[in-house]
Structure 1
Amino acid sequence: MLAFMGVVLLAAMVPGPDFIIVTHHAAVSGRRAGVAAGLGIASGVFVWAVVAALGVASLLAASAIAFTVVKLIGAVYLGYLGLKALIGAWRRGEKVQVKAQFTATGAGVAFRQGLVTNLLNPKCAVFFVALMPQFLSSTPHVGETLLLSALAVLVSAVWFSVLANLVGLLKRFFTSPKVRKVLDSVTGTILVAFGIKIALD
């Protein structure tokens, strides 16, 4: 179990779309929104872990058509989030607009974006398809599968909560209009780049 948790932790710590989503929400809307985004990602991890253990995700990994469909949907979604951030940066300038954006991005929105971002990343399916069988018996029972899935959720939730709290401590700095404009520009560019990369992989 410790080895499994270590592998999941290392995978979660690698900067990617999940990392960017949590960092952005924590920096712009505070620790609560950042943690909510992290919990959304952890919920997506639970889904992928369970379906991988049950063999459903292996069908996605084995089917070129299914994998491509999920990949392209995920790429479009990341591109959408990236463009939304870029448009926000271009329109930035009035303090009122900044405050309106803050109130619009609540914990519910952050959770949903974290969940959808993770579920639309087919690399998560491939990761768990490759990982889960290494830690399950040849004839795994439901309890064993749920235990490993719960551990994956726990590790992901703890890591992204720690990340959100660390970034959230600097919220006052990140909410400066000039800094917010730079943050939105960088975040948007990275998310669009991730979307393009996923589409072209």
Structure 2
Amino acid sequence: MGWSELVPFAGVVLVGAMSPGPDFAVVVRHSAVAGRRAGTAAALGIATGILVWSMVAAVGVASLLAASAVAFTVVKLAGAAYLLYLGSKALLAAYRGGAAPLPKGDGEPVVAAHAFRDGLLCNVLNPKCAVFFVALLPQFLPAKPTVGDTVLTAAVPVGLTALWFCAVAVVVGAMRRLLAAPRVRRALDALTGTLLVAVGVRLAAQARTLP
């Protein structure tokens, strides 16, 4: 893959990462509630999910998932259920008016592990990622890709995704004191919870679309 393919490939990946969605909501909420390190852990979880999807796409499994109605539906419903779970937790916190205590410290191992898990599962259980990579990779990979091409097509999405969401975690984490105010936190929980539930419902109702 030369620069003529790499630059537009990176551009498409970055635009996809920056598009508001469940990944963004997960990073924002963990950063606001538990701090920069927890948000960064969620970002790394998402990047790990991107690594999984890019490698799966490289070996052709993603195309099988996109083409199989049963496999697509199973992953779709699992992802929708997890998004609804995350959204309901945020909405419950909003209903309680921010009364739920914040996790102690900024990025304790348990908090960071939970944030990483949420980021990873939010991404891996989204079959739209499979469709995205199946549609994207053939446009930029040569007919007979080398090992270097395969590694590059995995490294670019992972690196750009990690950079973008880590930047989001740093910015939101820096605003944690403001966001920790009961009214602000309640509004944030309501907003992110509504977004996650809406995306979960939309994902569950989505028909399988082939690239």
Give aligned-pair identity as a percent.
Answer: 57
Structure 1 residue ranges without an equivalent (≥5): none
Q: Is residue 107 from structure 1 mapped to residue 107 from structure 2 by the alignment?
A: no
Q: Name 2:53's counterpart in structure 1.
A: 48
CA offsets, 1:70-98, max 9 Å, x none?
A: 1111000000001111122223454xx32
Shift of 1:177: 2.0
Q: Is residue 84 from structure 1 mapped to residue 73 from structure 2 by the alignment?
A: no
Contact preservation (8 Å) 2:31, 2:169: yes
Contact preservation (8 Å) 2:103, 2:111: no
Contact preservation (8 Å) 1:92, 1:98: no
Shift of 1:135: 1.4
Q: Is residue 73 from structure 1 mapped to residue 78 from structure 2 by the alignment?
A: yes
Does the residue aligned with 1:46 lie in a helix, a strand or coil? helix
Moved over 4 A (4+): 100-105
TM-score by length of 2: 0.89
Question: For residues 1-201 of structure 1, what are the structure 2 equivalents within 5 Å?
Answer: 1-92=6-97, 94=99, 97-100=100-103, 106-201=111-206
Structure 2 residue ranges without an equivalent (≥5): 1-5, 207-211
Name the aligned partner's letter for residue 113 of structure 2.
G
Does the residue aligned with 1:137 lie in a helix, a strand or coil? coil
CA distance in 2, matches of 1:57, 1:142: 18
TM-score by length of 1: 0.93
Does the residue aligned with 1:156 lie in a helix, a strand or coil? helix
The structure with more helix, counted as a fraction of residues: 1
Does the residue aligned with 1:138 lie in a helix, a strand or coil? coil
Pairwise CA RMSD of aligned residues? 1.7
CA distance in 2, matches of 1:17, 1:93: 21
CA distance in 2, matches of 1:60, 1:195: 19
Name the aligned partner's letter for residue 101 of structure 2.
V
CA distance in 1, matches of 2:138, 2:27: 29
Instruction: Report how many aligned residue pairs link the two structures.
Output: 199
Instruction: Give the stretch that moved more between structures: 123-132 or 170-179.
Output: 170-179
CA offsets, 1:31-90, max 9 Å, x none?
A: 111111111101100110111111000000001111111111100000000111112222
Does the residue aligned with 2:101 lie in a helix, a strand or coil? helix
